[in-house]
Structure 1
């Protein structure tokens, strides 16, 4: 569980006036990188600087292999997502959470705090995932720096900050549970692929990972739609936002899959996270 005395503000502590600040969940406000929106803005700004200037700097350098760092990073990310997934699943089961509709409640019950802590780690994992982009740049994998990749990484980071600040329990556990489960498999795949060409013949199931992502977005769309139709008492604005977000991913990932696998047959390319 996160220590409530921990706090990081990157020097923006005086700029605490922002919309809906009074509605923030009291349990997570002193946790690192949660309290001030300027912390999140600063991290996102640094990420966009990396995207803007990293390729220009690497244009003068030789591409790096980074097999060991890639293996270690992807393995640790798979393990982190496994921890998040397990915590969300076991704690929600212990609280008898409803998969259909679960209102967010401010409770210091140990299992509720486990879920809130898992959401914080989920948020932190989205910061760590910015390393995906850094590795693409250092290896000069320019084709991977697509709009889909950048949109996915930057938007997920912002959404996860919103969740952990305002609604770190309740129905959000369903999409977070699905996403962390998918990332266990994805980062596991990447850790194996980092070991080199000897394992490539055994990694034939790459395209099915994109299908798994599409399934995740389709299930997220159905889940969000039923929450709206049933008028679930759980932040209606989040349900509408989630449905629109899943539609954008279904379109972008669906186009990606069609272009890279259907039209090009068995062409083998790297999928995006």
Structure 2
């Protein structure tokens, strides 16, 4: 037993010390402990928050919500722009791209740093759940919601720690593009019922979210068989994660947009 624990400790130490040295000192990157504690606190809020709010009036928070969502629209737009422009300037392949571990300006100051911003945005987006709790929108805190927010935090931490760039840029670029429209929708919805006539495109937003996961799954699948110097372990992890989200979003799509119509027909 002691030998097994020693070997596990050696492997953990090796993993911590063998990340990308360029990003190792960046905020929240060196160790998984800070993001693990953040996630544990997040889960505590998910469990205890609704109970704490059960005897309180829901908060409207129209102003803070509008500012929060607008901020994420701008941040997502910046991340998308940086991923796209840097990948084009560096002549990245959209089919197979190894990580540029050099100290070049495009390799570290732009591609690696925008990967960090993508990771950091996932920490900020945990506030989505906090706003749901404060507004007593408990029905919005679904398994899909918590799973997606929590796992994205760890996925992007691992990306910045070990593979800040390369194939990862494609995932971040698509995700940030979708988030521009997603947080625009949330921002408009937070302004009140009078905005409902402008929110007819909710179903199309869900389709766009599904489309990104299908594209990411296809992209990762291709690179498992192509001669590409990008870790197969990361490609496999991205593929399996994308498939899980496709299934969960398909279920959400069915429950939200199709089941009601089917019940009306029966």
How many pairs align?
A: 252
Match of 2:206 in 1: 210
Match of 1:8 in 2: none
Match of 1:227 in 2: 223
Distance 1:216 1:18 in 2: 35
Q: How does 1:161-172 map to 2 (within 5 A)?
A: 161-172=157-168
Match of 2:23 in 1: 28
Aligned pair in 2 of structure 1 residues 18, 51: CA closer, same or farther (>3 Å)? farther
Match of 1:250 in 2: 246
Q: TM-score, normalised by structure 1?
A: 0.89
Shift of 1:47: 0.8
Match of residue 70, structure 1, among 65, 69, 76: 65
Match of 2:48 in 1: 53
| 5+ long unaligned stretches in structure 2 | 1-11
Shift of 1:266: 10
Q: How does 1:135-214 map to 2 (within 5 A)?
A: 135-214=131-210
| 5+ long unaligned stretches in structure 1 | 1-16, 268-273
Shift of 1:22: 3.0
Aligned pair in 2 of structure 1 residues 19, 155: CA closer, same or farther (>3 Å)? farther
Distance 2:236 2:107 in 1: 25
Matched, 1:95 2:90: yes
Find the residue that maps to 1:265 and give its secondary structure.
Answer: helix
Shift of 1:133: 0.3
In terms of fraction of residues, the more helix-rich structure is: 2
Distance 2:197 2:23 in 1: 46
Aligned pair in 2 of structure 1 residues 241, 47: CA closer, same or farther (>3 Å)? same
Distance 1:265 1:209 in 2: 19
Please report the RMSD computed on the Cα atoms of aligned residues, expressed in angstroms: 1.6
Distance 1:35 1:231 in 2: 30
Shift of 1:19: 4.7
Shift of 1:183: 0.1
Kindly indicate whether the alpha-carbon contact (under 8 Å) linking 2:79 and 2:114 is maintained by their aligned counterparts in 1: yes
Distance 1:252 1:43 in 2: 24
